[in-house]
Amino acid sequence: MPKTATSRKAQAKPDKTAKNGVKPAAQNGRRDLTEVVEMMSAEFEKRRKSQIEAIKTTDKKLLREMLYQMVLGRVFEEKCAEVYRMGKIGGFCHLYIGQEAIAIGSMMALEPSDMVITSYRDHVQAMVKGITPEAVMAELYGKIGGCVKGKGGSMHMFSKEHEFYGGHGIVGGQIGVGTGMAYAAKYKGTGQVALCFFGEAAVNQGIFHESLNMAQLWKLPVIYICENNQYGMGTSQERAMSSRSIAKKAESYEMANEFVDGMDVMAVREATERAIKRAREESLPTLLEIRSYRFMGHSMSDPGNYRTREEIAKYQERDPIALFERSLRDAKVFTDKDFEAIRQEAIEATDRAIKFADESPFPDESELLKDVYA
Ligand SMILES: Cc1ncc(C[n+]2csc(CCOP(=O)(O)OP(=O)(O)O)c2C)c(N)n1
Ligand SMILES: [Mg+2]
């Protein structure tokens, strides 16, 4: 069985709050914030040197595109929040702010023909897979110019052409479908890899365990990415999960696994590249637990009274975009002027998307029963 990442050792620390193995109920939901942040900061500082080295050996054009996609994701979603409050977007809307390094680091290591599936927190993944910001914004508006003609909305971005298979609202539902996508690729011999994203709250469901068991047993070319943003709606991981390590759960199925710092886009890329190689060359699955933090509420309607401002601010100090820019500056790849130009491009792309969505019509009544399967 392939070795797991040494960084996971940090997770195996004994829980000092537990007495006779039982955590006091009052503390059960409250993480030891300082400990977690210190662990992540120490991990990042350790990796910083190698991250700068990785940057130095990575193609400059690729680095620019990685940073552009991260900044575009951020600027685009900040705009989503703004227009949502203006009433231009209706229904559920889950933002990805703070988690950009995961989608960009992992997906930009794929081939365009590889397949991706995710949860309802899907706007950034859709754009990284090649769906235009215009088509994503129009979809959010429920307009005909959207990637699924305005019929899916925020949670159901989809494009067969781009090998992007949703956008799923049922927590964990996409784990079974993603496993099936990898099965299909193997059966047909297409050489594709399937990347399947889900949140940490999905891991407590049966579908996660059934899928991992099958994927390892049948040697499927799938990469499971658990985006551990530490909350499932208003419930922290500590309150809902008996074990701290999600990556380790893969060991029950003798599956390769790694714990990755999700604030570090280069670390995410490297871990995904190892998993892609394993999937492509050996037809074997991998589970990556990539830990980040959700800077915004669960959705636009979340009052957020289950965590403190201090906790959010602590994690914002490790903003994945700011950290990447710092390393790019230290490695002397880009200057502040370059960062400004990239941000400007992202603002312009978002403005074009808004204009397109504003001008796109709502679907005609004749569309009502088209593309509906029952
Ligand atoms: C099967 C199922 N149960 C409950 C819900 C309600 N629900 C929607 S999102 C969510 C939390 C999921 O959290 P996580 O998997 O960590 O993803 P995140 O929102 O953090 O990205 C829940 C419980 C649902 N959509 N589906
Ligand atoms: Mg979560």
pLDDT at 19: 46
Q: Verify whether ligand 1 is closer than 6 Å to residue 169 (CB atom).
A: yes
Query: Is the CA virtual torsion 72, 78, 82, 83 positive or negative?
Result: positive
Q: How far apart are CA 177 and CA 101, in angstroms?
A: 24
DSSP assignment letter at 299: S
Give the position, in ligand 1's atom list, of the atom nearest the Cα of 170.
26
The Cα 343–Cα 282 span in angstroms is: 40
Among protein residues, the one with the nearest Cα to ligand 1's atom 19 is 232
CATH of domain 60-356: 3.40.50.970
How confident is the model at residue 31, as a pLDDT? 57
Instruction: List CB-based neighbours of ion ligand 2 within 5 Å.
Output: 199-200, 229, 232
Taking CA atoms only, the protein residue closest to ligand 1 atom 5 is 171
Ligand 1 touching residue 42 (CB < 6 A)? no
Whether the CB of 246 sits within 6 Å of ligand 1: no
Residue type, 257: N
Please give the pLDDT value at position 22.
44
Question: What Å distances lie between residue 351 and 53, 67, 196, 358, CA to CA?
Answer: 35, 19, 30, 10
Q: Output phi, psi for 166, to 5 deg.
A: 100, 160
Q: Is 233 in the pocket of ligand 1 (CB under 6 A)?
A: yes
Q: Which residues contact 319 (CB under 8 A, 6 or more apart)?
A: 98, 263, 295
Residue 259 Cα to ligand 2 middle (Å): 16
Angle, CA of 128, 56 and 115, to the nearest 5°: 25
Cα–ligand 1 centroid distance for 202 (angstroms): 7
From the list 325, 345, 309, 330, the residue with the least C-alpha distance to 101 is: 325
In this structure, how many other beta carbons lie within 10 angstroms of the beta carbon of residue 219?
14
Name which residue sits closest to atom 20 of ligand 1, judged by CA.
Answer: 232
Query: Which residue's CA is minimally distant from atom 25 of ligand 1?
Result: 170
Task: Please give the pLDDT value at position 32.
Answer: 66
Contact 298, 233 (CB under 8 A): yes
Quick one: how far is CA 287 from the chain centroid?
14
Predicted TM-score (pTM) of this structure: 0.91
Helix (H, G, I), strand (E, B) or coil at 19: strand
Q: How many CA atoms lie within 13 A of 88 on its CB side?
A: 21
Among 77, 155, 171, 315, the mutation site with the greatest number of ligand 1 atoms within 8 A of its Cβ is 171
Q: Is 178 in the pocket of ligand 1 (CB under 6 A)?
A: no
Q: What is the rounded distance in angstroms from the CA atom of residue 118 to the CA atom of residue 225?
A: 9
Predicted local distance difference test score (pLDDT) of residue 252: 97
pLDDT 10s per residue in the chain (374 long)? Answer: 444 443 433 344 444 444 444 444 334 445 566 777 777 777 767 777 778 888 999 999 999 999 999 999 999 999 999 999 999 999 999 999 999 999 999 999 999 999 999 999 999 999 999 999 999 999 999 999 999 999 999 999 999 999 999 999 999 999 999 999 999 999 999 999 999 999 999 999 999 999 999 999 999 999 999 999 999 999 999 999 999 899 999 999 999 999 999 999 999 999 999 999 999 999 999 999 999 999 999 999 998 999 999 999 999 988 999 999 999 999 999 999 999 999 999 999 999 999 999 999 999 999 999 988 86
